[in-house]
Amino acid sequence: MPSTASAAPKSLTRIGIQLWTIRNTFEADPLGALKVVAASGYKEVEFGGGNFFARDPIELRDMLDETGLTAPSLHVGRGELTVQMDRVIEMAKAVGAGYVVVPAVGTEMRGSAEAWKGVGRIFTEAAKRLADERLQFAYHNHDFEFDQIDGETNGFDVLFGETDAELVKIELDFFWATYAKQDPAAIMRAHPGRVRLCHVKDMNANGEMCFPGEGSIDFQSLFLRMEEAGLEHFHVEYDHLAVVNLERMRAANRHLYGMTQS
């Protein structure tokens, strides 16, 4: 195993941004928002928020093509996944997304191990349908998945212990895992080949969310494990912004490219 002090991860050639970061800007002017993303140096976007799900999928694809961006993944709610699956599939295929990600589950579904097993069953059925369409399902963590339940386990371990690793992949949010006092590297080691996507956001000295490069999370060390984990897509995200901040978006992109070797 290479030393994280002396080694650099392989080059990240396609850093993306989760559009939740600029959701208000995107909702008001989707093409303009995508142009800003491309001008900031990003190559990919992950759809989420900004009322994207109500838009014409073909028009969204045309916007991606016009701006030179790709969209390997999109976020949909559990309700959309179970009630509007045909629409989810249509949207994913139209924009070229290979991954359909559920970003969270409601409080009523996470109070016990049995509740999380029920979530796993719902996700498994959805993942099977998506797999039939050559689409991959994944779940994105926050912090609550790591809360202790039933005195001995947590929702994250139940969910990914009860589901098939080929059907249900992980989108690992580095900030929320760290905020929950978990080690993202340990999660990646525990789930080789399963952590296909990640949200790259930093934590400052006060434990608050910030853009990559503004805090202290050791992304370089984490990226050394990207092949083992199966990581394919890296999306910068900042939950609290909602509108474009060109300077911070560009700085985050430069920071991530700067820590990798060509």
For strands 202-203 and 209-210, give the pairing. antiparallel
Contact indicator for 102, 75 with CB cutoff of 8 Å: yes
Tokens of 44: 């990919």
Over residues 70-88, the pLDDT tens digits come to 999 999 999 999 999 999 9
Diameter of the chain by CA atoms? 52
In this structure, are residues 232 and 196 in contact, taking their beta carbons and an 8 Å threshold?
Answer: yes
The structure's pTM equals 0.94
Token digits for 101? 């990600």
Query: For residue range 106-157, what is the model confidence (pLDDT) as tens digits?
Result: 999 999 999 999 999 999 999 999 999 999 999 999 999 999 998 889 999 9
b/e for 117-126, b at 16 or more Cβ within 10 A?
A: eebbeebbeb
- Ranges of beta strands (E only) in the chain are 15-18, 44-47, 70-75, 99-102, 136-140, 148-149, 153-154, 168-173, 195-200, 202-203, 209-210, 233-236
Strand partners, 261: 10
- pLDDT for 258 beyond 90: no
Q: Give the tens place of pLDDT for each residue, 146-156.
A: 999 988 899 99
Segment 201-252, tens digit of pLDDT? 999 999 999 999 999 999 999 999 999 999 999 999 999 988 899 999 999 9
Average per-residue pLDDT in the chain?
94
Residue 3 — very low, low, confident or very high, per pLDDT cuts 50/70/90?
very low
- Overall CATH class of domain 15-258: alpha beta
